[in-house]
Amino acid sequence: MLLTPIHQDGWPFVAILLAAAAILFMLWQPLGWIGLAATGWCAYFFRNPERVTPLRDGLIVSAADGLVQDIDNAVPPPALDMPAEPVVRIGVFLSLFDVHIARAPVAGVVAKTSYAPGRFHSAASELGQAENERMAVRLARDGKPDLAVVLIAGQVARRIRCGLSSGDGLRAGERIGLIRFGSRVEVYLPPAVAPLVCVGQRLIAGETVIADEASEETARQGEAR
Chain centroid to CA 42: how far?
18
Q: Is 95 known to be catalytic?
A: no
How far is 90 from 101, CA to CA, in rounded Å?
17
Asked if 61 and 103 touch (Cβ cutoff 8 Å), the reply is yes
How far is 96 from 179, CA to CA, in rounded Å?
11
CA atoms within 13 A on the CB side of 108: 27
Please identify which of the residues 114, 122, 166, 183 carries the catalytic annotation: 183
Asked if 199 and 70 touch (Cβ cutoff 8 Å), the reply is yes
Asked if 39 and 14 touch (Cβ cutoff 8 Å), the reply is yes
Q: Smallest Cα–Cα separation from 187: which of 166, 210, 171, 169?
A: 210
| 3-class state of residue 44 by DSSP | helix
Q: Which residues are catalytic?
A: 183
